[in-house]
């Protein structure tokens, strides 16, 4: 009687899995990135990346003129980092490879022994503790030697990146089963070229950002295709990209069209080419930028078009979707003649919308970051509606503070509230969320905010040569969630909230 058996199984699964439990197989991790933690910027043959150049050339663009020269000194303290990951009980640790450490001239004919040794040690130490390495190939730190040829605005960058990816797959693919090609191209294209607040610091709103965007999509796709063709059958890993997406919500019921347009600019420009059946740019944005370019007196669009071949190359290059989620904005149409502020993320004034925040969203220690947990579920549901029933890995989520509190109640509350929304997305909306990653394992170099903004579950003492790491309450809380595989944790931290 198969139905009786099925009924018994489903009842028992129901009994075992409460609504605050995560599905079996759901994985938990934490993340960092090379420039933000490694330090050792000129050690072991490593060449300069664009972030080395940026902080050394424009110290005034970084709070307190900070640099990542030493950062968390993870180049020397990687064993300690693996200890922290193990203390938390992480299933995986997401870190990035520094391209200019592994390939000092940017090209694959000179592989650094020191770079190889460093990443091999880190990967092996993680695996020894049964922690899966999840490796990001590119987290904002292009070799300066390639920037000298135009960096992300030179179409050849797609091949440069693909060659680097092949080296990394062949050196580490036997042990690394999860790869992220590019972290947040919106940050290194739109924020970078629209505002100059990120390396390379070159400002070209409405032009540079779009060229970078297209080249980044091609770079990702070429790397994915190489994995598919040359490595998948041997290593059987998964490859995708990590996109940063703010939840963009209609300000009033009349602003739904404006909000959808903004979503297509922020999410669509980096998702539509990869995750839809049609591929290419989101049609609404392609049309708007073509019209605007005409108004600017140009005989062509500032948005570089995709050829048919390129559309095919990029389309479908994912094994899951990586999502970095932090915060939200409201959206409304601009009034005629209203000045559109320089908003770096949905840059230039190509779409005539105004972004805002609601008064009830609490601001964190960072200017751009307001807390609205329900948005997380809305974002996940929108992605499912837009791109289909694909697996989503939360590749970053976390909370900023500007104080040194070891008892970081706000951060614990943020994790709890956001994980609740992940569970609702899974249980109520049927979104296939496969795992969750905290940004960040420890405090680190927070780009233009230097060390003034902290995201860590571990506090790092940047005044001590030892860069001592101390767990905060959020580390305790996250460790209990992982251990119980549930938000039903009765521990002293939650009692105190």
Active site residues per annotation: 184, 396
Helix residue spans in 245-303 (DSSP H) = 256-263, 269-275, 283-295
Nearer to ligand PNW, 368 or 462 (CB): 368
DSSP-based three-state secondary structure for 370: strand
Nearer to ligand PNW, 90 or 313 (CB): 90
Q: What does the block give as tokens for 81?
A: 């980092």
State the nearest-atom distance from the C-beta of 37 to ligand PNW, in Å: 10
Spatial distance between the Cα atoms of 390 and 383, rounded to a whole number of angstroms: 9
Instruction: Let me know how long the chain is.
Output: 497
Q: Which position has the token pair 């559309």? A: 311
Q: Calculate the alpha carbon distances from 229 to 134, 207, 226, 301, 311 in Å.
A: 20, 33, 5, 34, 18
Nearer to ligand PNW, 444 or 473 (CB): 444
Nearer to ligand PNW, 47 or 397 (CB): 397
Spatial distance between the Cα atoms of 441 and 82, rounded to a whole number of angstroms: 10
Using DSSP bridges, classify how beta strands 362-363 and 328-333 pair: parallel, antiparallel or unpaired: unpaired
Q: What does the block give as tokens for 477?
A: 């809380």
Nearer to ligand PNW, 139 or 377 (CB): 139
Residues 445 and 40 sit within 8 Å (Cβ to Cβ): no
Residue 385 CB neighbour total at 10 angstroms: 11
State the nearest-atom distance from the C-beta of 174 to ligand PNW, in Å: 27
State the nearest-atom distance from the C-beta of 135 to ligand PNW, in Å: 14
Nearer to ligand PNW, 78 or 188 (CB): 188
State the nearest-atom distance from the C-beta of 372 to ligand PNW, in Å: 14
Q: How many CA atoms lie within 13 A of 130 on its CB side?
A: 6
CA-based radius of gyration for the chain: 22
State the nearest-atom distance from the C-beta of 391 to ligand PNW, in Å: 20
State the nearest-atom distance from the C-beta of 42 to ligand PNW, in Å: 21
Nearer to ligand PNW, 36 or 145 (CB): 36
Q: List the helix and strand counts (H, then E) for the chain.
A: 20, 15
Burial-class residue 390 by CB neighbours within 10 Å (0-12, 13-18, 19+): middle
- Residues that bind ligand PNW in the complex, under the rule CB under 6 A: 33, 36, 183-184, 187, 191, 244, 324, 326, 345, 368, 396, 439, 446, 455
Residues 184 and 123 sit within 8 Å (Cβ to Cβ): no
Residues β-bridged to residue 133: 93
Q: What does the block give as tokens for 96?
A: 């990035």
State the nearest-atom distance from the C-beta of 441 to ligand PNW, in Å: 11
Spatial distance between the Cα atoms of 212 and 138, rounded to a whole number of angstroms: 14
CA neighbor of 417 nearest in space, from 324, 497, 321, 328: 497
State the nearest-atom distance from the C-beta of 324 to ligand PNW, in Å: 6
Nearer to ligand PNW, 224 or 369 (CB): 369
Q: What does the block give as tokens for 127?
A: 């695996």
Spatial distance between the Cα atoms of 474 and 295, rounded to a whole number of angstroms: 51
Give the containing element (helix H, strand E) for 436. strand 433-439
């Amino acid at each position: 009687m198969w139905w009786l058996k099925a009924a018994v199984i489903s009842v028992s699964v129901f009994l075992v899995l409460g609504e605050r439990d995560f599905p079996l197989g759901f994985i938990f991790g934490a993340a960092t990135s090379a420039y933000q933690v490694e330090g050792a910027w000129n050690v072991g043959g490593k060449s300069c990346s664009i972030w080395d150049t940026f902080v050394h050339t424009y110290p005034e663009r970084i709070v307190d003129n900070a640099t990542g020269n030493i950062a968390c000194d993870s180049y020397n303290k990687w064993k300690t980092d693996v200890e922290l990951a193990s203390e938390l009980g992480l299933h995986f640790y997401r870190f990035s490879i520094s391209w200019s450490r592994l390939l000092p001239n940017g090209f694959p004919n000179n592989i650094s022994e020191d770079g190889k040794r460093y990443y091999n040690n880190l990967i092996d130490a993680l695996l020894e503790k049964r922690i899966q390495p999840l490796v990001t190939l590119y987290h904002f730190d292009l070799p300066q030697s390639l920037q000298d040829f135009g960096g992300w605005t030179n179409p050849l960058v797609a091949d440069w990146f693909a060659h680097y990816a092949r080296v990394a797959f062949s050196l580490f693919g036997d042990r690394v089963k999860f790869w992220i090609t590019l972290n947040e191209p919106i940050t290194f294209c739109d924020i970078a070229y629209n505002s100059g607040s990120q390396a390379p610091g070159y400002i070209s709103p409405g032009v540079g950002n779009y060229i970078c965007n297209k080249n980044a999509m091609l770079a990702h796709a070429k790397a994915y295709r190489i994995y598919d063709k040359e490595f998948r059958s041997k290593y059987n890993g998964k490859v995708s990209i990590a996109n940063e997406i703010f939840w963009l919500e209609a300000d009033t019921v009349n602003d739904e069209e404006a909000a959808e347009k903004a979503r297509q600019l922020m999410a669509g420009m980096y998702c539509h080419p990869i995750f839809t059946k049609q591929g290419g740019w989101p049609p609404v944005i392609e049309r708007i930028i073509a019209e605007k370019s005409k108004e600017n007196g140009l005989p062509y669009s500032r948005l570089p078009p995709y050829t048919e071949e390129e559309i095919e190359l990029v389309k479908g290059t994912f094994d899951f979707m990586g999502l970095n989620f932090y915060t939200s904005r409201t959206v409304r149409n601009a009034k005629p003649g209203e000045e559109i502020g320089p908003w770096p993320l949905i840059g230039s004034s190509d779409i005539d919308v105004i972004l805002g925040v609601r008064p009830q969203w609490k601001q964190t220690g960072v200017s751009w970051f307001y807390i609205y947990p329900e948005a997380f579920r809305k974002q996940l549901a929108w992605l499912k509606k837009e791109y289909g029933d694909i697996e989503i890995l939360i590749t970053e989520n976390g909370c900023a503070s500007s104080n040194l509190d070891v008892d970081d109640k706000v951060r614990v509350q943020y994790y709890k509230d956001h994980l609740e929304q992940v569970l609702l997305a899974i249980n109520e909306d049927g979104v296939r969320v496969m795992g969750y990653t905290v940004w960040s394992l420890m405090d680190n170099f927070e780009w233009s905010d230097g060390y003034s903004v902290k995201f860590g579950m571990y506090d790092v003492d940047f005044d001590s040569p030892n860069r001592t790491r101390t767990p905060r309450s959020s580390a305790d809380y996250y460790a209990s969630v992982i251990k119980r595989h549930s938000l039903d944790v009765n521990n002293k931290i939650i009692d105190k909230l």
